[in-house]
């Protein structure tokens, strides 16, 4: 498992994965590889922290999920330049 995971990083990883799959023109092998990698390395953390309901709990009283995703996409957009 990856060290120092938190919900912000989880959202960033999933956003990053989606962007990479998109950039690969939805290459089936790459898509499968990233899906397997996330399941092996990220899903255990998500499950240990309440699953996706844990994310809902985390977001209560905080930024919206849309705000986190916008920040993640902004980071990826700037990183790609």
For the chain, give every domain's residue range: 7-80
- Cβ 54 vs Cβ 65: under 8 Å: no
Low-confidence residues of the chain: pLDDT under 70: 1-2, 63-66, 68-69, 72-73, 75-81
Q: Dump pLDDT digits (tens) for 19-42.
A: 889 889 999 999 999 999 999 999
- Cβ 54 vs Cβ 14: under 8 Å: no
């Amino acid at each position: 498992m990856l060290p120092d995971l938190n919900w912000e990083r989880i959202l960033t990883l999933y956003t990053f994965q989606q962007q990479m799959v998109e950039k690969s023109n939805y290459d089936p092998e790459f898509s499968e590889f990233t899906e397997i990698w996330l399941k092996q390395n990220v899903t255990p953390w998500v499950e240990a922290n309440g699953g996706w309901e844990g994310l809902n709990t985390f977001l209560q009283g905080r930024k919206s999920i849309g705000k986190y995703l916008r920040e993640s996409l902004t980071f990826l957009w700037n990183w790609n330049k």
